[in-house]
Amino acid sequence: HHWSRNRNSLVTNWPVLGMLPGLFCNLDRIFDFFTHDILDLCGGTFKFKGPWFPSLDFVLTSNPMNVNYILSKNFLNYEKGSEFREIFKPFGDGIVTSDSDSWKSQRKSLHSIMLKNNKFVNYQDIVFRQVLEKGLIPVLEHIVQQGTEMDLEDVLQRFDYDNICLLALGFDSKALSVSFPEVPSKAAFNDIEDSLMCRYLMPVIIWKLQRWLQIGEEKRLSKAMKIADHFLYDCISSKREKLRSRNRVEEDEFDLLTALLVEQEGEILTVSGKISDKFLRDTAFNFMAAGKDTISACLSWFFWLIATNPSVETKILQEIKANSPTSKDRNMILFFTGEELNQFTYLHAALCETLRLYPPVPINHKNSIQPDVLPSGEHVDGNTRILVSFYSMGRNEEIWGKDCLEFKPERWISENGDILHVPTYKFSAFSAGPRTCLGKDMSFKQMKLVTINVLWNYQVELVEGQPIAPSKSITLHIENGLKVRIKKRDI
Ligand code: HEM
C-alpha cells in the first residue's frame, strides 16, 4: 500500500527509511542527482522525505522565484536555525551560522571592515601581491624547471590558505612553497569541513552517539578542532602582544584581527580586553571558513574549462595583451588596480560562466520559522530545512536556455560589449539578499589577478585520461584534483 501510494515519486519513499536510500545511492553524484534526476523533472521544487527520525525531511528548490522569496523578499522567515548552529558548532557564534541581532551586528562590523575600511582594503592588495610574487609564481617557475606534473588544485588551495591566513590573522602560513609542506592547521580546517558535512547528512542521534563515544568522524573532528583552536588562539595572543608594544599600526599589517581590535578599542592600542579572545576566534574562524577554499575551487574549474575550450583561452590572452604594458618583461608580475581590472570584460564573463556551472558553494541552507507558501505553490511547514541548490540553478534551462550545460562566456556580454546584469536570484553563486557574500568584489579581483598572471606566463596542459567530477563536499572542488603540466608561454 505504501509503495503504491508513492510509486510516482521521483525518489522511492520507503517505509521507515523514507527517501534516504535513494539519497545515499547517489551520494557520489549528489549535485547532479538533485539537478537532473529530481529538480529538472519536477519543475524546480521537491519535498524530500527523510526516515522516521524527523530531522532529515527537507524542501529542495532551484526555482528562481522561490529563491528570490526565500533569500530576499521573506528573508525574516528563513534563518539558519538552531539545528544548523548545533551541527556547525565549531563556527561558534560567528556570522556564518548566526541569526537575528547577533548576525546583524557582525554583518555590520565585517561589512565596514571588508568594504569600507581603506586600510584593510589596501592591506588586501599588499597581501595579493605578496602571495603572487613570493608564493604562486616561484612555485610555478620551479615546476616548469622540474618538468613534472602537478596538482593545480592543490597549488591553488595552498595559495588560498596563505592568502586567507594573512588577511584574517596577519600570519604567513607558507603553505605554498616549493617543498609543498604539510601545514597542520590547513589539514585541520579541511578535516573540520569534511566531518561537518558528514554530520549534516546524518540523523542527529547517530553523530551525537559517535561524539559521545568519540569514534569515527566525531573523533577526527575533536582532534582537528584542538589543532585549529590552538592555532587561532596562538595567533590572537601574539597579535595582542605585538599591538601592545606599538602606538600605531602600519599599512602592511592591517589584517582582520588588527582591524577588529582597532575598531573596538580606538587608534590608541591599549588592547584592554574589551573584546574577548573567543569573539576574535569566532570571527577569524568564520572569515577563514567562508573565504578559504572558495576562490581556489572556482579557479580550478576555470583552468579546466579553459584547457578544454581553447578558443576562450585565446580571447582571454588577446584581452590581457590589449590591457598590458607593451614591452613584456618575462619575469614581471602583472598587477592592476580594481578600476583597471574592470577593463577585462571577457575574463569577467569567463569567471561568471565558471561560477554559474561550478558554484563554489553549491547548496545554501535555510530553515523556515513560520509555515509559509512558496511562490511556486508548495506549502512549507514551520521549522523545515530548505536547501537552495545554486548548482541546479546554474544548469536550469528556463534561466539559461537550451545550451545551459555549455561553457559560453559570450552569454554574459551585451551587444555593446558590457557585462550583462543578471539578477542575483538567477545567478546566485554569491547568494542573494541581505546575506549576500561579503567577499564578492575581493574574490573577483583576486581571481582576475591570478588568471591573468598564470595565463600570461604559462601554458597549462591537462594530463590526459584523468577523471573530472565535482566533490560531494561543502565547497565544490574537483574530486581528485586537477593534474596538469605547465610550460613557459611564448608570445
Ligand atoms: C568565489 C568566491 C566566493 C564565493 C562563490 C562565495 C559565496 C558565498 C555564498 C554563497 C555565501 C552565502 C552563504 C550562506 O548564506 O550560508 C557567502 C557568504 C559569505 N562570504 Fe563568500 N564567497 C566567496 C569568497 C569569499 C571570500 C574570499 C570571503 C572573505 C574572505 C567571503 C566572505 C563571506 C562572508 C563573511 C559571508 C557571510 C555573509 C553573511 O552571512 O552575512 N567569501 N559567500
Query: DSSP secondary-structure letter at 323?
Result: T
Give yes or no: residues 379 and 314 share one domain: no
Secondary structure of residue 456 in the 3-state scheme: helix
Closest C-alpha residue for ligand 1 atom 43: 437
How far does residue 9's CA lie from ligand 1's centre (Å)? 35
Whose C-alpha lies nearest to ligand 1, atom 21?
A: 437
Please state the atom number of ligand 1 nearest to the C-alpha of residue 446: 27
Distances (CA, A) of 264 to 101, 113, 273: 18, 12, 10
168: Cβ below 6 Å to ligand 1? no
Spacing, Cα 268 to ligand 1 middle (Å): 31
CA distance 425 to 446: 24
Q: pTM for this structure?
A: 0.94
Indicate if ipTM > 0.90.
yes
Q: Which atom of ligand 1 is nearest to the CA of 361?
A: 10
Which domain does 416 fall in, by range?
293-360+397-491
**One domain for residues 386 and 482:** no
Give residue 284 CA to ligand 1 midpoint distance, Å. 14
CA of 466 to the centre of ligand 1 (A): 30
With a 6 Å cutoff on the Cβ, whether 430 touches ligand 1 is: yes
Q: Is 23 helix (H, G, I), strand (E, B) or coil?
A: helix
Q: How far apart are CA 393 and CA 35, in angstroms?
A: 8
Residue pair 482/303 in contact (Cβ under 8 Å)? The answer is yes
Question: Within this chain, do residues 474 and 352 fall inside the same structural domain, yes or no?
Answer: yes
Within this chain, do residues 434 and 385 fall inside the same structural domain, yes or no? no
**pLDDT reported for residue 268:** 47
Convert 359-398 to b/e letters by CB count within 10 Å (16 or more is b): bbbbbbbbbbbeebebbeebebeeebbbbbbbbbbbbbee
Residues 429 and 426: their CA atoms lie apart, in Å, by 9
- Binding-site residues from annotation for heme: 437
| Structural domain includes residue 213 | no
Check if the beta carbon of residue 237 is closer than 8 Å to that of residue 273: no
- Split into its structural domains, the chain has a count of 2
Estimate to the nearest angstrom the gap between the alpha carbon of 451 and the chain centroid: 18
Closest CA to 82 of 102, 109, 62: 102
Q: Are residues 429 and 475 in the same domain?
A: yes
Q: What is the CATH number of the domain that holds 421?
A: 1.10.630.10
pLDDT in tens, the chain (491 residues): 766 766 667 778 888 888 888 888 898 899 999 999 999 999 999 999 888 765 678 999 999 999 999 999 999 999 999 999 999 999 999 999 999 999 999 999 999 999 999 999 999 999 999 999 999 999 999 999 999 999 999 999 999 999 999 999 999 999 999 999 999 999 999 999 999 999 998 888 899 999 999 999 999 999 999 999 999 999 999 999 888 887 778 888 899 999 998 876 555 455 555 789 999 999 999 999 999 899 999 999 999 999 999 999 999 999 999 988 765 555 568 888 888 999 999 999 999 999 999 999 999 999 999 999 999 999 999 999 999 999 999 999 999 999 999 999 999 999 999 999 999 999 999 999 999 999 999 999 999 999 999 999 999 999 999 999 999 889 999 999 999 999 998 76
Q: Is the CB of 437 under 6 A from ligand 1?
A: yes
Ligand 1 nearest-atom number relative to CA 444: 1
Which residue owns the Cα nearest ligand 1 atom 11? 437
Domain limit, last residue, from 345, 375, 394: 394
Shared domain for 376 and 470, answered yes or no, is: no
What amino acid occupies position 276? S
Domain annotation covers residue 145: no
Can you tell me which atom of ligand 1 is nearest the CA of 434?
A: 41
Ligand 1 close to Cβ of residue 394 (< 6 A) = no
Q: Please tell me whether residues 350 and 367 are part of one structural domain.
A: no
Q: Is 364 in the pocket of ligand 1 (CB under 6 A)?
A: yes
User: If we measure between CA atoms, which residue out of 248, 99, 96, 276 comes closest to residue 257?
Assistant: 276
